[in-house]
Structure 1
């Protein structure tokens, strides 16, 4: 159980980190992951970004 929680935390941290970037490389991520990054961007009012 602890391992699953650690993995979930790492994914959340990674999404948060990538949401700070101005470019999202869609070739590196699946649709679900990209949606999470964009949700995070919108949540923190970062309206300008580029999807490559």
Structure 2
């Protein structure tokens, strides 16, 4: 069975990470985009395979 974590949960994880970076004095730019596709808001995460960095999912 697959569990949908929900966009709100995923975005909150990125926001938590961003806060930690800022508190440490580092810059943070998450590799995500928020888009609306066919009236549905989606969060797109850029991913790659470290063994094959030229391949994009």
Q: Same fold (TM over 0.5)?
A: no
Higher relative helix content: 1
TM-score (norm 1): 0.38
TM-score (norm 2): 0.36
- Structure showing greater radius of gyration is 2
Tell me which of the two structures has the higher relative contact order, counting C-alpha pairs closer than 8 angstroms and 6 or more residues apart: 1
Higher relative strand content: 2
